[in-house]
Structure 1
Amino acid sequence: MLPEQVDLAGGRGDCHTPASAWRALDSDHTTGPLRPPLVATSEADTPLPAGADHRSVYRSNAAARLRRHVGALLSDLAAEHGELEVVRRRWDADPASYDALAEAFEAFDVVGGATARVRDPEGRLLLVRRADGPWADPGDARRPGEDYRECARRAVREATGIAARLDDLTAVHVHVAEDPFDRPPLPDPALVFEATPQRGGAPTPVPGDGVTAADWFRPDDLPADLLYEDLRPAVPDVR
């Protein structure tokens, strides 16, 4: 697991996040607020000892930089938005997926993604389904050079054909990758935005590539198979 405190130097901004934000990763699914002010100490890159596996040490250092980067992101968001809901979920990553996450950040300086909870004037929520998977709010991973808001707007447009107007940032979901070799967990953040259709009304969604269904759902008629149960209270009851 991560050290008691982690240094977030080298990320964006001058703010830092406490180790308590990372200790919560010991549970499978935790929810809690993120509040400023934030402080921390140091987690340095691993030195290269004689005879070491250069690629293994490279990955370890990339993972450390990724954790510092995500910690700085959470700090920036706390400073900008004040108290903010953070949902942490663990997933058991195979070694290849774990390495890919660290190496993609090192190569392209990009991590995480964004989703948008788009509501029409009646309070219905826009959901999409991929293949036979559960229903979810439209979202995607960030592309190089893309910020989180651009990612959320693109995800809605590509999945449903609807142009979305983003409002407030409502939560941050931190998906934590753990591998079977007890390497430190890797955080992969997804920012969750509230949104409305850009042109107003309730445009008819047109499923995009990889999306098998897209539709508007009332609070009292949400699908049983939701990707995350916290989608249910995300829709106000307009009855």
Structure 2
Amino acid sequence: MKKRTSLVNFQRISICVLVTIIVFGITANGYPGEVRGVTDTMIKVGGILDQTGPSAGDIALPITEALRIYTMHINDSGGILGRKVKFIVEDDRYSIPAGIAAFKKLLFKDMVLALVGPVSVGETKALFGQIDKLKVPTITGGPDESVVYPVKKYIFLPTNVYLDQIGVIFDYIINDLKPKKIAITFVYPDVESGKGGLVATKKWATYFNVDLNTEVLNLGALDATSQVMNIKRKPPTHIIIHHGSAGAALLLRDWIQ
């Protein structure tokens, strides 16, 4: 339920931020022809979103669908300042090289005004220089502190950073559940987002003086038997799964077998 609520909030906030960016981007200059991606009749917005890779099914595809549906709603309601919105999606396959290629295509061929994505921390960081150079308002889905601190002029994050998210989980376990013994295992993918979550988890474990074990479960994994065996060697009282719903389901499936 928490995962679904977070995703819905991400979709809603992304859409609100995007509309705000578009409105201010247009009204900041009285001459539409001078604004990249804006004509008298159209506003072009790009999406760098995983459509076929490991984060597609439970993260990027629902975000893509929500953005397309809301784009249709905006256009059916008359557009923004009389202009229709054209939403152009490029598949980054949750990889840095594909993300860079998608960025170049959207900026230099499609000439979009603003971007939604990537949802990958690594891709977002790899694009920092170009985003700033080309002045591209970008709503990223990579909620790591390194993405937003120090503050970056064109980067917008529609959700809390990992440190805040994981802090809420620790606070709930310790102050609401109040277990007599606490031993936490943190399961994460060996990518930038997973490493960012691990850093945040270690900080909170140190702060609360909690025993912490870790286990890697990579994106796109089809079997978690070895991870389950490793976890059970040092039985935790609680497991934090820093993963998509597919990874969480895989771990739970192999846990009960």
Normalised TM-score (structure 2): 0.27
Structure with max Cα Rg: 2
Normalised TM-score (structure 1): 0.29
State the structure with bigger RCO (CA 8 A, min sep 6), 1 or 2.
1
Q: Which one has a larger percent strand, Structure 1 or Structure 2? A: 1
Q: Which one has a larger percent helix, Structure 1 or Structure 2? A: 2
